Structure 1
Amino acid sequence: LRQFSLRSSVSYKTDKWTADASYNIIRSSQDNVESIKRTDGLLNYRRILPKNWYLIGTIATLSNTEQLIDLRANSQLGIGKFIISSNKAYWGVKAGTNNNLEHFINETTSRNTWEAYLGTEVNFYNTGDLNLSFLYMGYSGLTDKGRYRADVNFDAKYDLPLDFFIRMGITFNYDNQPAVNASETDYILRTGIGW
């Protein structure tokens, strides 16, 4: 078994806007089994409005052999509200529209659909030794009626003495109308020790 994984993220917050980006890769291969490849990326921009409201624009990509996704490119616009917003934590809810452009490994044509989305994100950081983050995004088809997709991420990091840390996380994707012969679900469970 040979496996390579990279998980990266960066964010910046001001009083008027926030931005964050992430890029993640998994490559796994072993003898007599088809290789697993997964890559995802995300760019978020939030414009902060009065009374903890915000406008949000997101561009997200996914490539995933388990669900036979050659490329999924999402372009989202929405509005949200921070229920909690401080220098240690935030919790926001958001809703909007998503343009979902997909090309599957086993299909010759691409799908271009519109979806409504509803999501929530909780992030506890700078709270001592423990950092937690949770994201849920649910997508309901507007032009592809009856289709529902969901993305869930959970990450936890605990700081140890001497600048060491332990980290664990899970990513889960669901699609009730996947490509032909593809799985409806895909998940990743990550653990690690760092310095």
Structure 2
Amino acid sequence: MPCRTLIVTLTSAAALLAPGLSQAQVTLKADGQWRYLLTAGANVSSGNNDAAALNLAAEGARQTNDDKWTWDAKADHARSAGVATTDRYGLRTQYNRDISPDWFGFGSGETLSDELANISARYSVASGIGRHVWRDERGFFDVSAGLGYSYDWYVAPTDVAGAVREQYGRTELVLSEESSHRLTPTTNLRQKFTLYPNLRDSGKYRAVLDTGLTVEMTPTINLSAGLSYRYDSAPGNNLEKGDAMFVTGVSLRFD
């Protein structure tokens, strides 16, 4: 799939799916206080269908008039008939610092384990600049660009960049857009799309799309649903290029 086509497809999917899908989002308020959100979802079936799934997520955010620091952690595990169908764990953080009313600099770090995608461990760091397209009490829309470096360790050696490798590192571009919207007094929408063109192996790239919706039932309890999509143009032998996950759950907000 050409890179331009992928961008159009995924950003269109975000616009179409976001009203009904997505992940919970932590409260963002420019008062310098840390706020947290914990989300859990699970389902179990037995008899003719022997399956179970558990999804856990945690988020934290601290924002002032000049900077913002966020982190999130996720654990997703599912089994069907005794066989793992999902086994993904991730942690990421990002710090933004305004350098003018419209522009900001950022630094980020991420770690990921996804054994079914043959990723024993992935570590990524990035830094760059971004622009506040708009932001007010209803939310924000930011775009950013930078350089990053990612290093993968594989569960099993695989064909990457023309050779069979156990591990692989590369410099990447990091192109991102992110927005948050208060649709109603009790409904919040959030989405983020990031593209990672590989600068070591021209023409290869990764893409990540997350959309998020939170519906407040009480000041503390929220209903949430989530859609995430991961795409790798060269994932290795016998692996699908795209992975999608839809999760629903209940969130506890600590403001």
Q: TM-score when scaled to structure 1?
A: 0.92
Using the TM superposition, name which of 150-159 and 176-185 deviates more: 176-185
Mapping for residues 31-50 of structure 1, pairs under 5 Å: 31-50=81-100
> Any residues of structure 2 matched to 1:3-152 within 5 Å, and which?
3-107=53-157, 109-125=166-182, 128-152=185-209
Query: Which amino acid in 1 is paired with 2:172?
Result: E
Gaps of 5+ in 1: none
Contact in 1 for aligned 2:55/2:247 (Cα 8 Å)? no
CA RMSD of aligned residues (A): 1.9
* Aligned partners of 2:183 and 2:189 also within 8 Å: no
Closer, same or farther: CA 115–194 of 1 in aligned 2, 3 Å: closer
Structure 2 distance, partners of 1:48, 1:83, is 13
Amino acid at match of 2:137: N
- Say whether 1:177 aligns with 2:227: no
User: 1:139, CA displacement in angstroms?
Assistant: 0.9
Query: Relative to structure 2, which stretch is displaced further, 81-90 or 128-137?
Result: 81-90
**2:234 counterpart letter in structure 1:** Q
1:152-195: CA deviation from partner (whole Å, max 9, x where unpaired): 00010112368653211101000001122222111110112456
Give me the whole-angstrom Cα distance separating, in 2, the residues matched to 1:193 and 1:53: 35
For these two proteins, the number of residue pairs brought into alignment is: 195
Look up the SS of the partner of 1:181 in the other structure: coil
User: Contact between 1:62 and 1:71, CA under 8 Å: does it hold in 2?
Assistant: yes
Give, in angstroms, the shift of residue 151 of structure 1.
Answer: 0.1
Note if contact 2:85-2:116 (Cα within 8 Å) is conserved in structure 1: no
Among 223, 226, 250, the alignment partner of 1:166 is 223
Does structure 1 conserve the Cα–Cα contact (< 8 Å) formed by 2:76 and 2:87? yes
| Structure 2: segments with no counterpart, 5+ residues | 1-50, 158-164
> Are the counterparts in 2 of residues 92 and 122 from structure 1 also a CA contact under 8 Å?
yes
CA distance in structure 1 between the partners assigned to 2:149 and 2:220 by the alignment: 42
Q: Greater RCO between the two (CA within 8 Å, min separation 6)?
A: 2
**Contact kept? 1:67, 1:184, Cα under 8 Å:** no
Residue 87 of structure 1 deviates from its aligned partner by 3.4
Change (3 A) 1:97 1:193: same
Q: 2:90 & 2:220 partners in 1: Cα distance?
A: 28
Shift of 1:58: 0.4
- How much identity, in percent, do the aligned residues show? 21
Higher strand proportion: 1
Q: Match for residue 157 of structure 1?
A: 214
2-side partners of 1:39 and 1:82: how far apart? Answer: 30
**TM score, norm. by length of structure 2:** 0.71
